[in-house]
Every structure is written in C-alpha cells, then in structure tokens.
Amino acid sequence: MMRLNLSSSLETLENFNSDDFDVTTLLKLTNLRKLTACIRSGKFQDLKAIIQCLSITLNHLRHTSLDVTNYTFCSEEELTLLKQMLGCHLLYELMIKGVIGMLPEYCHFSPSLTVLTLKESELTEDPMATLEKLPNLRSLFLWKDSFVGKEMVSSAMGFPKLTSLTFWGLSNLDKRRVDEEAMPNLLYLQIGDWANLKMVPYGLRFVTTLQKLVISYMPEAFKNRLRVIDGEEGEDFYKVRHVPSVTYYD
C-alpha cells in the first residue's frame, strides 16, 4: 500500500483508488475542493476513513464522487455506516456494488446527490419509494439485481429533477407502474436485459418530456409491441408515440 506525497494545497484529486493508496493520505488534503475516489478493498476501515475525510476533515470539499464496490451493508453496524456515507457533505455522485439489506430513508441521503448507481444490491423492497423523494437526483442507474422484488412504482410528483433513468438486468421484476405526473423532467430512458417485463408501463404515455427511449437485449415480442410493422401499430405503440427517438439494440 503506497502513500501519496501530495501538497496540502491540492484542490482536485481524481481517480483515487483505495487498492493502490492509503485512504488516510486524504486526511492531510485540507484544501481539497473536488474528489473522485474508488473504494474497492472491501475493508470497512477504508470506508470509515473516507467517511471521516468527507464528513469531518475535508470541510472545504465542493464536489465528491464515490465508487464503492465489494461491500455488503446488512448488519446494523454496516447499515449505520451506509447512512453515514449517504449523508456525506456535498456527495454528488455515488455508485454502490454490493448487497444492501435495506435502503435507508431518503432523509439519510445527501441533498446534493445528483447521480446514483446501484448494482447487485438485492433489495427486496421497492427502492423507488425512497429514491423518488431525493430533491436533486438527475440520473439513476439500477443495474443487475439491484432490486429482486416483483413490482416497482413511480408515484405522481416523484423524481422532480430526474432526466435520465436506466434499468438493466432486473431479472425478477415483472411489473412496472408509472403514475401520471411522475418523473416530470425525464428525457432519457433505457430498458435492458429485463426478460420478465412483458410491456412498457401504461403511464409512460404521460411522460411527455421523454426524448429518447433505448431498448436493449429485450425479447422480440416486447419490441414488436412498440413497433409499427407493415403499417400496423404494435399493442404498446400508443404509449411511446410521443417519443422522438426509440432505438433498439441486440
């Protein structure tokens, strides 16, 4: 494990990786304004150290991006640590790869959070009920088995600033509901590798701001419901008629 010999006057540090450098090195960077860090060791002492840096020591930070991989947040102690991380000062971007026993209430999330990615979280309760309350969230990526339940709901007036939403590899989920007036600023939606989803939600027709819909690695029957084939509209074409760009990838 190496220690970085950095000037205490440093204002921007990108691509810091806990696999390569001692996290406690950050404690000396008292003038840091922007930090992009990967915490992938799976060691909770590293995570505790980065939380200490962000919440106490580095009080001059203006922008933080964290990639947290190989951690499990299931025990009471681990969930407490997760809450502390989520509430870190001016946390703008966060990616978590690992099991999360229960997603903390929205009040534990930093109000600055704009980009959130969850992978392999194996959440059993619909995360939308919490995430849609985040006031400044603009991009949400829910990847492989981040949610293992059967139904997901976006409520009216939820996700007030969300512009980009990606679902990928949610293998158990078979029902997606979008209420009228949900996601009032959504511009981009991607649905990928989601075999159990039989159709796009009816409520998508109310998301009039949507500019681009990307369908990736979905069953042919799903795609045909959205297409116009030989002049005949698919069963779900009316739900996406208003979307300027619908793209399919296999």
Which pLDDT tens digit goes with each residue over 200-236? 999 999 999 999 999 999 999 999 999 999 999 999 9
Domain that holds residue 248: 114-250
Q: Are both 9 and 101 inside the same structural domain? A: yes
Q: Are both 119 and 100 inside the same structural domain? A: no
Q: Are both 2 and 70 inside the same structural domain? A: yes
- What is the pLDDT at residue 25? 81
Q: Give the number of other Cβ atoms within 10 Å of residue 123's Cβ.
A: 19
- What is the pLDDT at residue 55? 77
- What is the pLDDT at residue 3? 54
Q: Are both 89 and 123 inside the same structural domain? A: no
Q: Are both 121 and 242 inside the same structural domain? A: yes
Q: Are both 84 and 141 inside the same structural domain? A: no
- d(CA 156, CA 31) in angstroms, rounded, equals 42
- d(CA 158, CA 154) in angstroms, rounded, equals 7
Query: Considering only CA atoms, which of 167, 164, 154, 248 is closest in space to residue 204?
Result: 154
- What is the pLDDT at residue 6? 65
Which residue among 82, 105, 128 closes a domain?
Answer: 105
Q: Are both 61 and 5 inside the same structural domain? A: yes
- What is the pLDDT at residue 195? 85
- What is the pLDDT at residue 237? 98
- What is the pLDDT at residue 250? 87
pLDDT in tens, the chain (250 residues): 555 566 677 889 899 898 888 888 887 888 888 999 999 888 888 999 888 888 766 667 889 999 999 999 999 999 999 999 999 878 999 999 999 999 999 999 999 999 999 999 999 999 999 999 999 999 999 999 999 999 999 999 999 999 999 999 998 988 899 999 999 999 999 999 998 999 999 999 999 999 999 999 999 999 999 999 999 999 999 999 999 999 999 8
Q: Are both 175 and 126 inside the same structural domain? A: yes
The beta strands (E) that lie in the chain are given as 12-17, 34-39, 63-69, 91-97, 115-119, 139-142, 151-154, 164-168, 175-178, 188-192, 212-216, 228-229, 232-233, 245-249
Q: Are both 151 and 91 inside the same structural domain? A: no
- What is the pLDDT at residue 61? 82
Q: Are both 44 and 125 inside the same structural domain? A: no
